[in-house]
Amino acid sequence: MDEFQEILQDFLIESFELVEKLDEDLVELESNPEDLELLNGIFRVAHTVKGASSFLNFDVLTHLTHHMEDVLNKARHGELIITPDIMDVILESIDLMKALLTTIRDTSADGGIDVAACVSKLDKISGGSGDVKGPAVVEAEPEQEQEKAPEVVEKTPSEDEPDYDNMSPDDLEAEIERLLQERQAEDKQKREAKIAAGESVVSLEPDDAAKEEPAPQPVAKTPVPVTPTPAPAAKEAPKGDAKAAAPAKKAATVEQTIRVDVKRLDHLMNLIGELVLAKNRLIKINDDVEERYEGEEFLEELNQVVSIVSLVTTDLQIAVMKTRMLPIGKVFNKFPRMIRDLTRELNKKMELKISGEETELDKSIVEEVGDPLVHIIRNSCDHGIEIPEVRVAAGKDETGTIKLKAYNEGNQIVIQIDDDGKGLDADMLKAKSVEKGLITLSEADAMSDKEAFSLIFKPGFSTAATVTNVSGRGVGMDVVKTNIEKVNGIIDIESEVGVGTSMKLKIPLTLAIIQALLVGVQEEHYAIPLASVLETVRISKDEIYTVEGRSVMRLREEVLSLVHIGDIFEVERILDSSEHAYVVVLGLGTQKLGLIVDTLVGQEEIVIKSLGDYLKGIEGVAGATIRGDGGVTLIVDVVALMDIAKNVKSTVMTESSSAAQLTLEKSKASDYCVMIVDDSKTDRTIMRKALEPMGITLVEAADGQEALNILKAGDHNFDAMLVDIEMPRMDGYTLATEIKKYNRYKNLPLIAVTSRTGKSDRMRGVESGMVEYITKPYSADYLSSVVQRNVNFKSEFL
Amino acid sequence: MSDKLKQIISKQGQQQDNDGLNHSDDVVQLVGFIIGEEEYAVPILAIQEIIKPFPWTRVPQVPKYVVGVFNMRGAVIPLIDLRLKFGLSALKQGDETRFIVMRHGDDIAGFVIDRLTMAIRIKKTDIGPAPDTINGDDTMIDGVGKQEDRIITILKVNKLLERDF
């Protein structure tokens, strides 16, 4: 019934539109009776309405339109000249048609209007006797949908037998359709007649009246009151009431719609975008004014206005966005059929359960998700659901279930596709990918199950042993990923072997306006779509480690790769910021990446603008937006950023630390700072004595651990370290290795001072990052010259 | 009815042709500007507007001469420094620096120029072809205009707006 309702909706919308047009055309036709183009157009309208109404079992409407069609057909073929008299009848019939359509809209049935008179007039015009009986349900009540016009039974075919020879193929087809229709109606009535026994012989009388009254009937009489005459209502009361409830509820209320060119909506959306920008600007100005004139009375008023404007703008934006929304059902509708076909093709038993089809999504996005869903569902059918025997053996229901549902989650819509098939086998996926050369063995080992699942999106990946019609070319899932990412969506896969797979597509509601996190690096700002931001953390720069030339940090239990936004966007780093940095943790499906930025500016609603043809395709930039101050801010393309990040060398802090060293101009000898790390107090004193004459600042530590703590505390900016090798708690090698993990100490000269003289000791020293190797005993001059050399001691301080 | 319409359309077409003959056929209107030492010009109809410099935003991964993007009444427009594009050294923007926003079809961009000279009306017959040494389709030069003692290089707007990286 729901499907029927939908078709009915479409039919009504279409018919009303056609009829609207028809009126205009007919009026023009009257002044221009020879215009074949117009006649053809009008004829087609009648024909279309007839075809659709017969399909929908609206017999009265079909009957009427059929005769209209006859007349118009004759006129079209030049057998009939449209005189004003004839036009009157045609117009009358059109009015009737409108009335019928209205009745259908209100009650889902086409009873209640007497068309017999008009039909007979039409018939006369088209050369018939005028004595036509139709399936007219003169007294009909809305509920009579089920008891479809029993009168038809009495209809004698001869009475309005059209001349088949004169018919165009179209007409013939329509006529056949109509006859079939009548036949079905008859059968139905016979059946019902049996059930209803005597009861349903209701309408003999009125029908007879129509028959005996071929004389013109005043048009005014046509919209017969819809309220049923008491008699039949009483007669039918027992079952009529029960049935009446249902159709009445479902009464096809035509959505009051107008069709609007998408371009106009886009334009409207652009204007709203401008308004949002202006709103942001207003808020910014308001903040500035508030700061400057704190406590002034007018501020409150200004505040009110600003908040009203911003509220209304937001509402307006939502309202316009809604006009662009379509239910996702438009996409879902094609899947039951697809599953049915696949069931046959694959010899599997499958069932599709759809829910949430009324969830709405921006039109442009609805268009983008269709293809990915096809691929995902096909994939579930082909790879997910097992053949019935296997399922039974595994103790599952023979019929596999695929659930397709959509729901809203915050600012996103989630489309979830669950199957209860065999699930994804992470190890198998890894093995396949390695075999196909998509990943290396070591990459495979390092992968979590979730990351392994997302391997199915790699281009060229397919687990299917053979390429079938359905899947196995290794293209489909790649398409899924590309398309979903195109609309800023993300895909999340969960799967358990033997239990099933669940895929979630998370898609933003709209493409034009998004929430973004604004970040700063040096003097520049960038906007990151908030949907991809998992969290932000403030870290001290010591927390950044280097592993295999890449910067990483520890975030709770995870190791997070880091990349500096400046390295991606080629930002010149002139000013070095503080000891602290912010890390924006970006998440895209299973991938995570930490983006180091200098400052977090805040969250803002931004309007995405294209950079235009000239600058399209800049890696890492998704577009631009205009900020409250009128400036342009680039929007980060998180998907591309993840890719770029893989190839960015860890320059994270080295540049800045060398820059920091340069900026810290040494103006006196005591600006130099050297740490002495030795467990022996005597040795420390010897070194101190040797270096003191230079006038440099000396800091002592008794072992590696203490040295590390002093370094981390950051109270001093060390230019070099003298490190003993043999120490309790932490030895010199370990200390050196630890120190080198910090980017900012990468270039800190470490000088080993030790009594170990073996070659292998020296080797280890070099390996752990020592730059000099001094063996005890040494002369004071030698030590100080080595230190001077390593800290670039300026000779003027000597 | 449609015949009438056709007549009208054809009449209009003729009128336009006549207009063309009367005016724009022998005179071109250009806007002249200086970059480095040279005077250049572009057709006045290709110019959307000429504005004083204002802040722009740097864009990564583009050649040096694409200095960034700027906001022109809500549209994000690329900004190209013609000094750098023509291989000259960068110069600090001064009082006379202007952005010329040019449009060709859907392509639009702003160009940084050193200073404006004037609007020029020049006879077509006074415009010579680009020097032989730089012909071919690749050249940005449409022709060379001679006016009194000056020589003005006329640029092809579509070439200026073409992305070449």
Tell which wins on pLDDT, A795 or A311.
A311
Q: Does the pLDDT of residue A239 top 70, yes or no? A: no
Which has the closest alpha carbon to A456: A495, A412, A511?
Answer: A495
DSSP A383: I
Check residue A249 and give its pLDDT.
Answer: 44
For residues A434 and A444, the answer to whether their CB atoms sit within 8 Å is yes
For residues A42 and A29, the answer to whether their CB atoms sit within 8 Å is yes
Instruction: Output phi, psi for A4, to 5 deg.
Output: -60, -45
Lowest mean pLDDT among A67-76, A750-759, B19-28: B19-28
Check residue A452 and give its pLDDT.
Answer: 82
Task: Answer yes or no: do A609 and B76 touch at CB < 8 A.
Answer: yes
What is the band of A517 on the pLDDT scale with cuts at 50, 70, 90?
very high
How far is A102 from A357, CA to CA, in rounded Å?
28
What is the band of B111 on the pLDDT scale with cuts at 50, 70, 90?
very high
How far is A138 from A746, CA to CA, in rounded Å?
96
Check residue A658 and give its pLDDT.
Answer: 42
Place of tokens 């309790």: A728
Residue A224 neighbours by CB distance under 10 Å: 18
Tell which wins on pLDDT, A178 or A230.
A178
How far is A649 from A659, CA to CA, in rounded Å?
18
How far is A102 from A60, CA to CA, in rounded Å?
13
Check residue B1 and give its pLDDT.
Answer: 55
Active site residue A743: no
Residue type, A93: S
How far is A123 from A762, CA to CA, in rounded Å?
114
Tell which wins on pLDDT, A743 or A21.
A21
Task: Answer yes or no: do A611 and B108 touch at CB < 8 A.
Answer: no
CA distance B58 to chain A (A): 8
Region A387-391 average pLDDT: 85
Lowest mean pLDDT among A273-282, A301-310, A519-528, B2-11: B2-11
For A54, the enclosing helix (H) or strand (E) is: helix A36-55
Place of tokens 């004698």: A156
DSSP A87: H
Residue A87 neighbours by CB distance under 10 Å: 15
Residue of A nearest to B76 (CA): A611
Residues of A in contact with B62 (CB under 8 A): 615, 618
Check residue A231 and give its pLDDT.
Answer: 41
Greatest CA separation for chain B: 64
How far is B121 from B28, CA to CA, in rounded Å?
6
Check residue A233 and give its pLDDT.
Answer: 39
Region A126-132 average pLDDT: 58
Question: Considering A73, A280, A286, A379, which one is annotated as catalytic?
Answer: A379
For A26, the enclosing helix (H) or strand (E) is: helix A2-31
Region A764-793 average pLDDT: 81
Place of tokens 């098939």: A421
Neighbouring-strand partners of residue A400: A350
Q: What is the CA radius of gyration of chain B?
A: 19
For residues A772 and A751, the answer to whether their CB atoms sit within 8 Å is yes
Check residue A253 and give its pLDDT.
Answer: 57
CB environment A397-435: b (16+ within 10 A), e (fewer): eeebbbbbbbeeeeebbbbbbbbbbbbbbbeebbebbbe
Check residue A48 and give its pLDDT.
Answer: 77
Residues of B in contact with A613 (CB under 8 A): 106-107, 163
Number of helical (H) and strand (E) elements in chain B, helices listed first:
3, 11
Q: What percent of chain B has pLDDT over 70?
A: 83
Tell which wins on pLDDT, A363 or B9.
A363
How far is B121 from B126, CA to CA, in rounded Å?
11
Q: What is the pLDDT of residues A553-580, one digit of tens each?
A: 888 888 888 888 888 888 776 555 567 7
Q: What is the pLDDT of residues A156-210, one digit of tens each?
A: 444 444 455 555 666 666 666 776 677 666 666 655 555 554 444 444 444 444 4
Q: What is the pLDDT of residues A8-38, one digit of tens each?
A: 777 787 777 777 767 667 767 766 777 777 7
For A241, the enclosing helix (H) or strand (E) is: helix A230-250
Task: Answer yes or no: do A618 and B62 touch at CB < 8 A.
Answer: yes
Lowest mean pLDDT among A122-126, A469-473, A676-680, B97-101: A469-473
CA distance B103 to chain A (A): 12
Peptide bond into A169 cis (omega under 30): no
Residue A65 neighbours by CB distance under 10 Å: 33
Residues recorded for chain A: 798
Domains and CATH numbers, chain A: 2-250 (1.20.120.160), 262-324 (1.10.287), 327-508 (3.30.565.10), 513-656 (2.40.50.180), 664-797 (3.40.50.2300)
Active site residue A564: no
Residues recorded for chain B: 165
Q: Does the pLDDT of residue A518 top 90, yes or no? A: yes
Check residue B110 and give its pLDDT.
Answer: 92
Cα angle A309-A312-A318, degrees, rounded to a multiple of 5: 140
Check residue B16 and give its pLDDT.
Answer: 56
Neighbouring-strand partners of residue B32: B41
Region A90-97 average pLDDT: 79
Instruction: Output phi, psi for A348, to 5 deg.
Output: -120, 165
Residues of A in contact with B163 (CB under 8 A): 613-615
CA distance B162 to chain A (A): 7
Check residue A528 and give its pLDDT.
Answer: 92
What average pLDDT does chain A have?
74
Strands A580-588 and A591-597: what pairing? Answer: antiparallel
Domains and CATH numbers, chain B: 26-160 (2.40.50.180)
Residue of A nearest to B159 (CA): A614
Check residue B100 and give its pLDDT.
Answer: 92
Residues of B in contact with A624 (CB under 8 A): 57, 69, 76
Q: Does the pLDDT of residue A527 top 90, yes or no? A: yes
For residues A639 and A588, the answer to whether their CB atoms sit within 8 Å is yes
For residues A334 and A297, the answer to whether their CB atoms sit within 8 Å is no
Task: Answer yes or no: do B66 and A615 touch at CB < 8 A.
Answer: yes
How far is A703 from A737, CA to CA, in rounded Å?
14
Q: What is the pLDDT of residues A452-505, one digit of tens each?
A: 887 887 776 765 555 555 554 455 677 788 888 777 777 888 888 888 888 888
Q: Does the pLDDT of residue A236 top 50, yes or no? A: no
Q: What is the pLDDT of residues A261-277, one digit of tens each?
A: 878 887 887 788 778 87
Check residue A225 and give its pLDDT.
Answer: 43
Strands B150-155 and B141-147: what pairing? Answer: antiparallel
Q: Does the pLDDT of residue B21 top 60, yes or no? A: no
What is the band of A151 on the pLDDT scale with cuts at 50, 70, 90?
very low
Which has the closest alpha carbon to A507: A636, A325, A351?
Answer: A325
Residue of B nearest to A613 (CA): B107
Q: Which of A169-178, A479-488, A532-541, B126-135 has the highest mean pLDDT?
A: A532-541
- Facing B61 at nearest CB: one of A273, A619, A633: A619
Q: Does the pLDDT of residue A733 top 70, yes or no? A: yes
For residues A744 and A657, the answer to whether their CB atoms sit within 8 Å is yes
Q: What is the pLDDT of residues A319-335, one digit of tens each?
A: 887 787 888 888 888 78
How far is A517 from A220, CA to CA, in rounded Å?
66
Residues of A in contact with B109 (CB under 8 A): 612, 614
C-alpha distance from residue B11 to each of A131, B3, B5, B22 (Å): 58, 12, 10, 17
Which has the closest alpha carbon to A223: A53, A89, A96, A59?
Answer: A96
Lowest mean pLDDT among A365-374, A489-498, A668-677, B13-22: B13-22
How far is A603 from A514, CA to CA, in rounded Å?
10
For residues A461 and A434, the answer to whether their CB atoms sit within 8 Å is no
SS3 percent helix, strand, coil of chain A, rounded to 5, is: 50, 20, 30
CA distance B105 to chain A (A): 12
Active site residue A375: no
Region B40-44 average pLDDT: 91
Can you point out the beta strands (E) in A565-710? 580-588, 591-597, 599-607, 621-626, 632-636, 673-677, 697-701
Residue A726 neighbours by CB distance under 10 Å: 12
Which has the closest alpha carbon to B120: B89, B91, B151?
Answer: B151
Tell which wins on pLDDT, A217 or A455.
A455
Q: What 3-state class would DSSP assign to B63?
A: coil
Q: What percent of chain A has pLDDT over 70?
A: 75
- Taking the Cβ of residue A570 and every Cβ of chain B, the question of whether any pair is shorter than 8 Å is answered with yes
Check residue A410 and give its pLDDT.
Answer: 67
Task: Answer yes or no: do A620 and B74 touch at CB < 8 A.
Answer: no
Region A336-347 average pLDDT: 80
Tell which wins on pLDDT, B139 or A411.
B139
How far is A480 from A439, CA to CA, in rounded Å?
20
Indicate the pTM of the whole model.
0.48
**Which residues of chain B are at the A interface, by a Cβ-Cβ cutoff of 8 Å?**
55-62, 66, 68-71, 74-78, 106-109, 161, 163
Which has the closest alpha carbon to A611: B17, B31, B70, B101?
Answer: B70
Q: Does the pLDDT of residue A341 top 70, yes or no? A: yes
Check residue A235 and give its pLDDT.
Answer: 42
Check residue A751 and give its pLDDT.
Answer: 87
Residue A343 neighbours by CB distance under 10 Å: 18
How far is A603 from A515, CA to CA, in rounded Å?
7
Number of helical (H) and strand (E) elements in chain A, helices listed first:
26, 23
List of residues 6+ apart from B54 with CB closer than 8 A: B70, B99
Q: Does the pLDDT of residue A238 top 60, yes or no? A: no
Residue type, A491: I
Q: Does the pLDDT of residue A131 top 90, yes or no? A: no
Residue of A nearest to B77 (CA): A611
Can you point out the beta strands (E) in A532-598? 533-540, 544-547, 550-555, 558-564, 580-588, 591-597
Place of tokens 């024909």: A47
Region B59-88 average pLDDT: 87
For residues A652 and A598, the answer to whether their CB atoms sit within 8 Å is no
Task: Answer yes or no: do A524 and B58 touch at CB < 8 A.
Answer: yes
Residues of A in contact with B57 (CB under 8 A): 524, 624, 631-634
Half-sphere exposure of A771 (CA within 13 A, CB side): 15
The tokens describing B25, both together, are 């056929």
Q: Does the pLDDT of residue A374 top 80, yes or no? A: yes
Check residue A634 and give its pLDDT.
Answer: 92
Check residue A243 and give its pLDDT.
Answer: 43
Q: What is the pLDDT of residues A607-651, one digit of tens each?
A: 888 787 788 778 888 888 888 777 899 998 888 888 888 776 555
For residues A103 and A113, the answer to whether their CB atoms sit within 8 Å is yes
